[in-house]
Amino acid sequence: MANYPLSARIKAFLVHCYTASTMIILLVAMSLLLNDQLTAALFVMLLNIVIDATDGFLARRFKVKQVLPQFDGRTMDDCIDYVAYVFLPIVFLLKAEMLLQPAILFGAFPLIASAFGFARSDAKLDDDGFFVGFPSYWNIVVAYLYLTGASPLISTLILLLLAALVFVPTRYIYITRFPRFKEWHFAGASISGVLMLAALWVSGPLRMWLVALSLIYPIYYTIYSLMLDWQARRAMR
């Protein structure tokens, strides 16, 4: 085992602290939810994506896995991601009364489906740059349902459909690991996120325009992912 200097170990530990700081953001979001500040809570919930999108780069830059092998960054990521991308968004749906009754029952479907999704040994194909199964982007789904004023019926149907897709082994692009057009994907996702955050603070036609523009990249992402999955399946025949 290489003997890394103290400065390298400190930098690696700070990267883990950066990842773990997501929990502070999520605690703030939960506090806002409990005080019925839904828009502010959703805004804070979406901010955690900034850390999630950048901590992997920092971990590779400072060789965290090699320098601090006693801390498993993947396990930390999975624990935080389940809270950030799955549990808290479903709590948001319950608090905002966006699901049909019994809301607890319908909200349990994505929670259980994503528990299985996170437990898959092939959930992330890091070498190829894909997730397998719907990648539990429940916070993004909830944001769009909230911004568009979707009815409880529509919200519940979409939730059940996507929960089922967690079990379908379709490949979806893992933006920060996918080797092709990485800059385009990162830029597209970033612009989409900024437009979505802006839409939270306006209303009327302007909100709908911002939502529509922010949907361009997610639609492209989905179509491109399905196309690549179809090509991969054809190549395996």
The domain spans of the chain are 6-236
Residue 118 near residue 133 (C-beta atoms within 8 A): no
Q: How far is CA 109 from the centre of its chain?
A: 17
Task: Check residue 2 and give its pLDDT.
Answer: 64
Helix (H) / strand (E) element for 33: namely helix 22-34
For 6-236, CATH gives 1.20.120
Give the number of C-alpha atoms closer than 13 A to the C-alpha of residue 60, restricted to the C-beta side.
Answer: 6
Cα separations in angstroms, 5 against 11, 13, 191: 10, 13, 39
Task: Check residue 126 and give its pLDDT.
Answer: 63
Enumerate the H helices of 103-203 as residue ranges.
103-119, 138-147, 152-165, 182-199
Average pLDDT over residues 60-82: 88
Q: Is 124 helix (H, G, I), strand (E, B) or coil?
A: strand
Give 153-211 pLDDT, tens digit per residue: 999 999 999 999 999 999 998 887 787 888 888 899 999 999 999 999 998 999 999 99
173 φ, ψ to 5°?
-60, 130
Task: Check residue 176 and give its pLDDT.
Answer: 76
Task: Check residue 140 and give its pLDDT.
Answer: 94
* 73: confidence class by pLDDT, cuts 50, 70, 90: confident
Cα separations in angstroms, 212 against 109, 176, 199, 219: 28, 24, 10, 10
* 235: confidence class by pLDDT, cuts 50, 70, 90: confident
Residue 99 near residue 152 (C-beta atoms within 8 A): yes
Q: Which of 56, 108, 119, 104 is nearest to 86 (CA)?
A: 108
Strand arrangement of the beta sheet that strand 130-132 belongs to? 124-125, 130-132, 171-173
Is the pLDDT at 90 greater than 80, yes or no? yes
Is the pLDDT at 1 greater than 60, yes or no? no
Question: Residue holding tokens 């389940």?
Answer: 82
231 CB-contact burial (10 Å; exposed 0-12 / middle 13-18 / buried 19+): exposed
